[in-house]
Amino acid sequence: MSVCLRDAAQLLRPPEDGLPYLRHDRAAELSLEPGSLCVRDGRIAALEDDAQAELAIDASGGALLPGLVDCHTHLPFAGWRAEEYEQKVTGVPYEEIALRGGGIASSARAFADASDGELLEQAGSLALEMLAHGTTTFECKSGYGLSAEEELRALRLAEELGERVVQRTASTALLAHAVPEGFTADGWMDEVERLVPEVSAQALDVYVESVAFSVAHLERMGELAARHGLALRAHVEQFSTSRSVRPALEHGARSLDHLACLHADDLDPLARSECAAVLLPGAELLGAEQVAPARALADAGAICALASDLNPGTSPVLSLPLVAGIAVRRYGWSVREALLALTLNPAWVVARSAELGSIEPGKRADLVLLDCPAEHVPYRFGRNPVAMVLMEGRVVYVRPGQEWRIGRG
Ligand SMILES: [Zn+2]
């Protein structure tokens, strides 16, 4: 099957082909020039028109982007915690919310009570909404299991979800999210060590915070990841400064996520490394957290990524265009910086950037066509600009009213 996407007002292109990531101090080198591209056998074949194509898509007036990559979600999870959000914004302290039965423990209870079918149903319907917002690859995490058995179940369901949804998925075992009842943090890490050989995932993850796990536990997770050939990722520096960055870098972390409370002395070492800084502006906004030093990270040349952090507690947000809008406003980022952080760099985080994340010949033709120029994404805040989504050159989503774009070649 050959497909041609014709006459886009803008085609997002990297400064050169074959880059595994692009450091953020080079984001201005991304180009957004008019163009066409053709797809053969699911891959981008050339950056030109193809008059012989079997299917032609009129991309006029819009920006053509690589499919968006959401490298940090907590799918699958059960239910929502809307009551808790209202309590939080009206000033009820977290300790009291937890006493009333809220917090991670409530999501863990809901997860244990939900059937496999219910969990897959909820996650699958969220994946469909994500598709309509341009997400063609997303990460799943365990972490609401809080027991060996339920964590393994979460990872098995993440895998099943990957088989059901249109998108590509990657699985992360967030085996140290909160300390399960009846365990000390050290005792639970002993359990994690027994669990790791059984998990099917590409990465291990740990939540470093005073109420959860320590930097020493992060180092232990790093050793486990190295021993089992898995990537190391970590939730760090979200509500307090724990100086986790250097130890994480020494253990070869692939990404450090959150970073709202990053210590100034840790910024340059992170920015110089190949470890991505995954920023979660939706969680920062809705949680009234500190704002991550994203402008400084970008200027220092960090590999920055943006993600939704989709979860029922701190970030019930799935729209990456919305996340881009928050990032541009609150981080003082350019549109190119936001787009880079939603495409090539998050593809690097999930170890797929050789195949995905940029428009270049040879890569898989996972593409998003907007109905407007890219500059409108953050500016028309809260609006979904996605007109059409393709996976390997196959049209998998068309927004109602945009069907006119599809024609024979
Ligand atoms: Zn998270």
**DSSP collapsed to 3 states, the chain:** CEEEEEEEEEEEECCCCCCCCCCHHHHHHCEEEEEEEEEECCEEEECCCCCCCCEEEECCCCEEEECEEECCECCCCCCCCHHHHHHHHCCCCHHHHHHCCCCHHHHHHHHHHCCHHHHHHHHHHHHHHHHHCCEEEEEEECCCCCCHHHHHHHHHHHHHHHHHCCCEEEEEEEEECCCCCCCCHHHHHHHHHHHHHHCCCCEEEEEECCCCECHHHHHHHHHHHHHCCCEEEEEECCCCCCCCHHHHHHCCCCEEEECCCCCHHHHHHHHHCCCEEEECHHHHHHCCCCCCCHHHHHHCCCCEEECCCEECCCECCCCHHHHHHHHHHHHCCCHHHHHHCCCHHHHHHCCCCCCCCCCCCCCECCEEEECCCCCHHHHCCCCCCEEEEEECCEEEEECCCCHHHEEEC
Using the mean position of ligand 1's atoms as its centre, give its distance from the Cα of residue 354 in Å. Answer: 25
Q: How far apart are CA 207 and CA 190, in angstroms?
A: 16
Using the mean position of ligand 1's atoms as its centre, give its distance from the Cα of residue 376 in Å. Answer: 28
Quick one: what percent of the chain has pLDDT higher than 70? 100
Residue tagged 């089992």 (tokens):
228
CA torsion 69-71-74-79 (nearest 10°) is -20
Using the mean position of ligand 1's atoms as its centre, give its distance from the Cα of residue 300 in Å. Answer: 24
Give the per-residue pLDDT at 97.
86
Cβ partners under 8 Å of residue 85, min gap 6: 286, 316
Using the mean position of ligand 1's atoms as its centre, give its distance from the Cα of residue 237 in Å. Answer: 12
Q: For residue 409, is pLDDT > 70?
A: no
Provide the CA 388 distance to its chain's centre, in angstroms.
20
Among 270, 274, 261, 255, smallest CA distance to 206 is for: 255
Using the mean position of ligand 1's atoms as its centre, give its distance from the Cα of residue 391 in Å. Answer: 26
What's the rounded mean pLDDT across residues 321-342? 98
Using the mean position of ligand 1's atoms as its centre, give its distance from the Cα of residue 280 in Å. Answer: 8
Using the mean position of ligand 1's atoms as its centre, give its distance from the Cα of residue 17 in Å. Answer: 31
Q: pLDDT category, 371, cuts 50, 70, 90?
A: very high
Using the mean position of ligand 1's atoms as its centre, give its distance from the Cα of residue 206 in Å. Answer: 10
Using the mean position of ligand 1's atoms as its centre, give its distance from the Cα of residue 309 in Å. Answer: 5
Give the per-residue pLDDT at 101.
80
What's the rounded mean pLDDT across residues 371-375? 98
If phi > 0 it is left, if psi is from -120 to 50 it is alpha, else beta; for residue 185 that is: alpha
Using the mean position of ligand 1's atoms as its centre, give its distance from the Cα of residue 71 in Å. Answer: 10
Cβ partners under 8 Å of residue 90, min gap 6: none
What's the rounded mean pLDDT across residues 288-301? 97
Using the mean position of ligand 1's atoms as its centre, give its distance from the Cα of residue 223 in Å. Answer: 21
Contact in structure between 324 and 63 (CB atoms under 8 Å): no
Cβ neighbours, 10 Å, residue 191: 15
Express each pLDDT in 229-266 by its tens digit.
Answer: 999 999 999 999 999 999 999 999 999 999 999 999 99
Using the mean position of ligand 1's atoms as its centre, give its distance from the Cα of residue 107 in Å. Answer: 14
What's the rounded mean pLDDT across residues 214-226? 98
Using the mean position of ligand 1's atoms as its centre, give its distance from the Cα of residue 199 in Å. Answer: 19
Using the mean position of ligand 1's atoms as its centre, give its distance from the Cα of residue 103 in Å. Answer: 14
Express each pLDDT in 45-73 by its tens digit.
Answer: 999 999 999 999 999 999 999 999 999 99
Express each pLDDT in 4-35 by its tens digit.
Answer: 999 999 999 999 999 999 999 999 999 999 99
Using the mean position of ligand 1's atoms as its centre, give its distance from the Cα of residue 174 in Å. Answer: 9
Using the mean position of ligand 1's atoms as its centre, give its distance from the Cα of residue 73 in Å. Answer: 6
Contact in structure between 192 and 228 (CB atoms under 8 Å): no
Using the mean position of ligand 1's atoms as its centre, give its distance from the Cα of residue 70 in Å. Answer: 12
Using the mean position of ligand 1's atoms as its centre, give its distance from the Cα of residue 220 in Å. Answer: 19
Stronger pLDDT, 409 or 307, i.e. the higher one: 307
Q: What is the average pLDDT value for the chain, to the nearest integer?
A: 97
Using the mean position of ligand 1's atoms as its centre, give its distance from the Cα of residue 395 in Å. Answer: 31
Token pair recorded at residue 268: 């340059």
Q: How far apart are CA 326 and CA 304, in angstroms?
A: 15
Using the mean position of ligand 1's atoms as its centre, give its distance from the Cα of residue 28 in Å. Answer: 29
- C-alpha distances out from residue 303 to 23, 119, 277, Å: 5, 33, 6
Using the mean position of ligand 1's atoms as its centre, give its distance from the Cα of residue 221 in Å. Answer: 16
Using the mean position of ligand 1's atoms as its centre, give its distance from the Cα of residue 307 in Å. Answer: 9
Cβ partners under 8 Å of residue 191, min gap 6: 148, 183
If phi > 0 it is left, if psi is from -120 to 50 it is alpha, else beta; for residue 33 that is: beta
Q: How far apart are CA 318 and CA 327, in angstroms?
A: 14
Give the per-residue pLDDT at 98.
80
Using the mean position of ligand 1's atoms as its centre, give its distance from the Cα of residue 195 in Å. Answer: 21
Among 80, 86, 134, smallest CA distance to 111 is for: 80
Q: How far apart are CA 6 and CA 319, in angstroms?
A: 26
Contact in structure between 378 and 325 (CB atoms under 8 Å): yes
Q: How far apart are CA 230 and CA 198, in angstroms?
A: 12
Residue tagged 């002993």 (tokens):
190
Using the mean position of ligand 1's atoms as its centre, give its distance from the Cα of residue 104 in Å. Answer: 12
Express each pLDDT in 113-123 by its tens digit.
Answer: 999 999 999 99
Express each pLDDT in 391-402 by its tens digit.
Answer: 999 999 999 999
Using the mean position of ligand 1's atoms as its centre, give its distance from the Cα of residue 169 in Å. Answer: 16
Residue tagged 């163009």 (tokens):
35
What's the rounded mean pLDDT across residues 371-399? 98
Give the per-residue pLDDT at 103.
87
Using the mean position of ligand 1's atoms as its centre, give its distance from the Cα of residue 77 in Å. Answer: 12
Residue tagged 């040879």 (tokens):
362
